[in-house]
Amino acid sequence: MMSKVILADSQAIFRAGTAKVLAMDDDLRIIAQCTDVERMMHAITTFPGAIVIFAASLRPDMGRMRTLLESANSRGVVIAENTDSAATFLQQGVRGVVFRNVTGQALVECVRRVSAGETWTPPQLVQNEATEEDLVGTRVRDRLTPKEMRIVALIVQGCKNREIAQRLKTTEQVIKNYLRSIYDKTGVSDRLELALFTIHHRVLAQAAAEMGSRLEAEEQQALQQQRHAAPTAVAS
């Protein structure tokens, strides 16, 4: 029997990637995608009997959510951050826990098991496998130039080429050229695959996050300098 799925995550790239993975399974049908807690709560009420996959980063009131899930005869699967405890979520009433670096195959298996009434917890080997995969992430990180890493960081944030070009003070064509080089180095074919590849390799994801924070700090500093320079320009 086909399982209905509600997907809730504020990270557009990850949400799109998750939807793409689930859509490949004929037994799963996504009936709602939500970007925040209130939309998710409304969807749970509107579509009873669903599997609700939601990001821990949305920080829902777990007591309220548990009540809603039970009244709607639905089951929750949480997408936890790598530092979260799976046991904590299970104690709060969710039926399945996966982490951000979950493989597509494991995610589908989790949803199938939960749909069948079982409870899914991350296998003990996931951590060791993730550590081995970090060797791939490290290799790719070391191959990317600082400029390419800036572009990767903005891709993960969901930025389009035009916005990336504006923020890096260059042209869209230059960004497209860089992306071709990045795709070659990572072995992916498009920006969605690039974002998912980055998220699934912890070392690379950390490097992208650090670069994103550095970019934001640089932009804030430049903005402050412009504000300080404005009165001087008027006075002169």
pLDDT digits (tens, 9 = 90+) for 209-227: 889 888 888 888 888 888 8
Same domain, 8 and 80: yes
The per-residue pLDDT for 124 is 47
pLDDT tens-digit profile of 72-88? Answer: 999 999 998 777 788 88
Where a domain ends, among 96, 123, 150? Answer: 123
Is residue 155 a contact partner of residue 191, using CB atoms and an 8 Å limit? Answer: yes
Q: What type of residue is 202? A: R
Is residue 235 a part of any domain in this protein?
A: no
Looking at the structure of the chain, the number of domains it has is 2
SS3 label, residue 5: strand
The dihedral built from the CA positions of residue 182, 188, 194 and 199, taken in this order, carries a sign that is negative
Query: Is 180 exposed, middle or buried (CB count within 10 Å of its CB: 0-12, 13-18, 19+)?
Result: exposed
Same domain, 115 and 55: yes
pLDDT-derived band of residue 231, with 50, 70 and 90 as boundaries? Answer: low
Check residues 171 and 19 and name the one with the higher pLDDT.
Answer: 171
Domain containing 222: what range?
126-228
Is residue 6 a contact partner of residue 47, using CB atoms and an 8 Å limit? Answer: yes
